[in-house]
């Protein structure tokens, strides 16, 4: 499907909203900077893709979701000012204009964030989600592109209801009673397993995506790929079959308490995942105390890129096994073959790997979707023990080297003192 096309600058929609330059592009819409000519204020105008604008079922759902989103009055949510349909058929939303950029822009510039700043982002995103969830509205597409960061560092969540409208419209198509027509599932790198397998989405789905975003903020990469040229179905399969690893297994400097929060938010089984936004925020407060992470402002982006990520399109439910080879068993993966996630195992320490025999018991199987998250501590303890042993070996080697240098220096000094004057 072709990318949505931008509207010509200077176009006036419904005789009121002037369309200016492009701010961002997504899989379903183009966001323009604009002006409300009646109130003489700057706005953002989200113009929907023409193909979607021509689907009556989608428009009905879209207008309903827009009304629901407009009632979400909260400083952490991008305000919806208006929605309309121009006589030429253009369907659009008028939104609060946030001067700054997206969390994706921040990641492009920073690479990854300090753990305290990453936790600050996650807390603000979940606080906004809590307001929506309390009103029965599920986002379904939490990702860095849908989190705006103002020039003052304020974090705001955007695009409530748009993916829900597309999804539900697809299930209501009278010519497709089984709901198998093409709909938007969300963005593949952040899909919860239940979205992939059976289309379910609730508050816990948004928390899974937030956990994936937190992982990416801490490490600079999403846990299962999907930010580049990865096969979308292969990425979706990983969400279903593989656990999100602790961020500290990828980069150093991540507190163990943050590992626990990420793993609890991204449990593959919704029943063992963090239950709701209240529980997430309570856990985040505990992380701040345990890891001594004070509130840290989010660095605003220096510039805003117009390009956005594309959502995953396909049938309502992905057939993860159709015409594709099964992934190799985890125990057969070559740890040194590449940096991919298939090579990672809970007992592997990517930072301090060594060839000496491991004193730990044989590794247990990967945690399955029906297992509780109580074994998180066990996995993290193993990683920390391996790192402690590696650090001890390095310290011993450094001490021996210093001893050798001291002996040589003492010998040289004695030889010098014995020379005739």
Check 141, 173, 206, 259 and give the catalytic one.
141
Residue 61, both tokens: 């759902």
Name the one residue in this structure whose structure tokens are 């989405």. Answer: 201
Residue 129, both tokens: 């989600």
Q: Are 168 and 175 in contact (CB under 8 A)?
A: no
Q: Rounded distance, CA 361 to CA 290, Å?
A: 28
Query: Could you tell me which of 341, 304, 339, 311 has the C-alpha nearest to residue 108?
Result: 304
> Please, is 319 exposed, middle or buried when counting C-beta atoms within 10 Å of its C-beta (0-12, 13-18, 19+)?
exposed
- The number of C-alpha atoms within 13 Å of 390 and in the hemisphere containing its C-beta is 15
Q: Are 100 and 143 in contact (CB under 8 A)?
A: no
Rg (CA), the chain: 26
Q: How many CB atoms are closer than 10 A to CB 100?
A: 22
Query: Could you tell me which of 44, 15, 16 has the C-alpha nearest to residue 30?
Result: 44
Where would I find the H helices in 302-375?
none
Q: Rounded distance, CA 47 to CA 107, Å?
A: 26
Q: Rounded distance, CA 278 to CA 3, Å?
A: 38
Residue 43, both tokens: 């706005």
Q: Rounded distance, CA 334 to CA 328, Å?
A: 10
Q: Are 246 and 377 in contact (CB under 8 A)?
A: no
Q: Are 361 and 262 in contact (CB under 8 A)?
A: no
Q: In the annotation, is 20 catalytic? A: no
Q: Are 194 and 205 in contact (CB under 8 A)?
A: yes
Catalytic (active-site) positions = 141
């Amino acid at each position: 499907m072709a990318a949505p096309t931008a509207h010509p600058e200077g176009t006036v929609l419904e005789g009121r909203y002037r369309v200016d330059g492009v701010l961002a592009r997504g899989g379903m819409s183009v966001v323009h900077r604009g002006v409300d000519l009646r109130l003489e204020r700057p706005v953002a105008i989200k113009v929907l893709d023409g193909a979607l604008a021509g689907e009556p079922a989608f428009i009905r759902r879209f207008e309903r979701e827009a009304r629901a989103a407009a009632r979400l009055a909260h400083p952490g949510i991008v305000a919806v000012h208006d929605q309309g349909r121009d006589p030429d058929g253009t369907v659009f939303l008028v939104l609060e204009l946030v001067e700054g950029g997206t969390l994706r822009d921040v990641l492009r510039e920073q690479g990854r964030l300090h753990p305290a700043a990453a936790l600050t982002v996650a807390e603000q995103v979940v606080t906004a989600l809590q307001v929506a969830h309390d009103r029965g509205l599920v986002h379904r597409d939490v990702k860095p592109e849908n989190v705006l960061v103002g020039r003052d560092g304020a974090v705001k969540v955007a695009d409530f209801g748009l993916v829900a409208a597309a999804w539900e419209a697809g299930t209501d198509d009278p010519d497709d009673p089984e709901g198998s027509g093409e709909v938007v599932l969300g963005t593949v790198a952040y899909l919860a397993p239940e979205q992939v397998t059976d289309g379910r989405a609730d508050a816990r789905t948004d928390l899974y995506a937030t956990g994936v975003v937190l992982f990416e903020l801490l490490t600079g990469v999403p846990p299962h790929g999907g930010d580049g040229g990865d096969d979308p179905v292969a990425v979706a399969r990983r969400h279903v079959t593989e656990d999100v690893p602790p961020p500290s297994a990828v980069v150093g400097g991540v507190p163990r308490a943050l590992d626990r929060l990420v793993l609890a938010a991204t449990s593959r089984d919704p029943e063992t995942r963090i239950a709701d936004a209240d529980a997430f925020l309570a856990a985040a407060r505990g992380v701040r105390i345990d890891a001594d992470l004070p509130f840290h402002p989010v660095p605003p982006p220096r510039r805003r890129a117009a390009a956005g990520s594309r959502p995953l399109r396909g049938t309502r439910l992905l057939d993860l096994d159709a015409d594709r080879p099964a992934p190799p068993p985890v125990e057969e993966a070559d740890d040194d073959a590449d940096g991919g996630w298939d090579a990672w195992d809970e007992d592997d320490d990517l930072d301090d790997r060594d060839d000496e025999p491991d004193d730990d018991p044989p590794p247990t199987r990967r945690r399955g979707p029906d297992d509780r998250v109580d074994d998180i501590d066990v996995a993290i303890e193993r990683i920390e023990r391996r790192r402690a042993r590696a650090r001890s070996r390095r310290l011993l080697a450094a001490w021996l080297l210093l001893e050798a240098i001291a002996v040589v220096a003492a010998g040289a000094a004695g030889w010098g003192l014995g020379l005739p004057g």
